[in-house]
């Protein structure tokens, strides 16, 4: 019987077609992969551009930025394309991959927006906001690092619901009746994030988003009477939300 062959030190490592080699061995998956992801976080700051709130029979009042916190949740399905070495303007070839994803998001917050007439405080506009969005995102990822940084953007649509809306004067008197409204608008966002593999195909990610709802228009009715406050409407060029979220991603 032949004796078993002795182990040979430093045998070459076997690299599958979906992996690439370094002196320390395979880097990991290099081909394209589908994934699903989900996460949650907080809306930290809201910026309103050229916003006005107008009660029936009165001149428009200027909206100012709201610093109220909000809740954000998201679900995604996407595809990570294969890694490619890209020659940038500086340094050597950089391993990068692109990704496309469909993202569904929910933003909920209690808005209490200060109103001004010129430079003079005129009261507040308050309401509960629920916003549902569907976004198509494109991402660029820098691979072969302990943590994968990425950036990108998205375009889509959002449906906004405003509940329990009212405008209140500086003395605390209700200027309008409590009412509800909704609006469908264009949504745009910029994304910066970090991703870290924690177990086989499972990754953890942290993201910052600048999510803008464009040309938001709410109509809260036009009826008024002598005995009670009437309706109102509000509009702006965009309502931008700064969001930080984190979650888990499963690749397959």
The pLDDT assigned to 252 comes to 92
C-beta of residue 123 within 8 angstroms of C-beta of residue 98: no
Q: Cα dist. 167→58, 64, 68, 160, 249 in Å? A: 12, 14, 17, 19, 42
Determine how many CB atoms are found less than 10 A away from the CB of residue 53. Answer: 26
Write down the mean pLDDT value for the chain.
Answer: 87
Average confidence (pLDDT) over 115-143: 95
Read off the pLDDT of residues 2-16 as tens digits, 9 standing for 90 and up. 555 555 444 444 334
Structural domain spans, the chain: 26-251
Per residue in 13-65, pLDDT tens?
433 444 444 443 345 578 899 999 999 999 998 899 999 999 988 899 999 88
Is pLDDT at 155 greater than 60 in this prediction?
yes
Helix (H) or strand (E) holding 232: strand 232-235
Q: What pLDDT does residue 173 have?
A: 87
In terms of Cα–Cα distance, which of 175, 174, 162, 171 is closest to 235? Answer: 162
Q: What predicted TM-score, i.e. pTM, was given to this entire model? A: 0.83
pLDDT bin (cut points 50, 70, 90) of residue 200 is confident
- Note the pLDDT tens digit of each residue in 99-123: 999 999 999 999 999 999 988 999 9
Q: Is the pLDDT of residue 227 over 70?
A: no
DSSP state for residue 224 in the 8-state scheme: -
Residue 138 in this model has a pLDDT that exceeds 50: yes
DSSP 3-state assignment of 189? strand
Least trusted range by pLDDT, from 88-92, 138-142, 241-245: 88-92
Higher pLDDT, 240 or 92: 240
CB 102 within 8 A of CB 60: no
Q: 128: left (phi > 0), else alpha (psi -120 to 50), else beta?
A: beta
CATH class, 26-251 region: mainly beta
């Amino acid at each position: 019987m032949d004796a078993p062959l002795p182990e040979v030190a430093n045998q070459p490592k076997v690299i599958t077609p979906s992996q690439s080699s370094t002196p320390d061995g395979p880097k990991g998956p290099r081909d394209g992969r589908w994934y699903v992801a989900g996460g949650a976080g907080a809306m930290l700051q809201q910026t309103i551009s050229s916003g006005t709130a107008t009660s029936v029979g009165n001149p428009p009042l200027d909206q100012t930025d709201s610093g109220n916190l909000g809740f954000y949740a998201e679900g995604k399905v996407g595809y990570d394309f294969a890694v490619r070495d890209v020659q940038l303007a500086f340094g050597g070839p950089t391993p990068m991959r692109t990704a496309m994803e469909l993202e569904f998001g929910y933003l909920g917050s209690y808005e209490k927006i200060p109103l001004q007439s010129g430079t003079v405080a005129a009261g507040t506009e308050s309401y509960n906001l629920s916003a549902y969005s569907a976004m198509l995102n494109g991402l660029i990822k820098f691979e072969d690092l302990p943590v994968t940084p990425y950036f990108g953007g998205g375009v889509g649509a959002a449906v906004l619901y405003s509940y329990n809306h009212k405008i209140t004067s500086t003395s605390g008197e209700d200027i309008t009746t409590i009412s509800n409204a909704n609006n469908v608008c264009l949504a745009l966002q910029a994304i910066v994030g970090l991703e870290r593999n924690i177990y086989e195909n499972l990754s953890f990610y942290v993201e910052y988003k600048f999510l803008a709802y464009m040309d938001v228009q709410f109509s809260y009715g036009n009826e008024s009477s002598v005995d009670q406050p009437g309706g109102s409407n509000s509009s702006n060029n965009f309502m931008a939300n700064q969001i930080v979220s984190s979650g888990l991603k499963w690749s397959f």
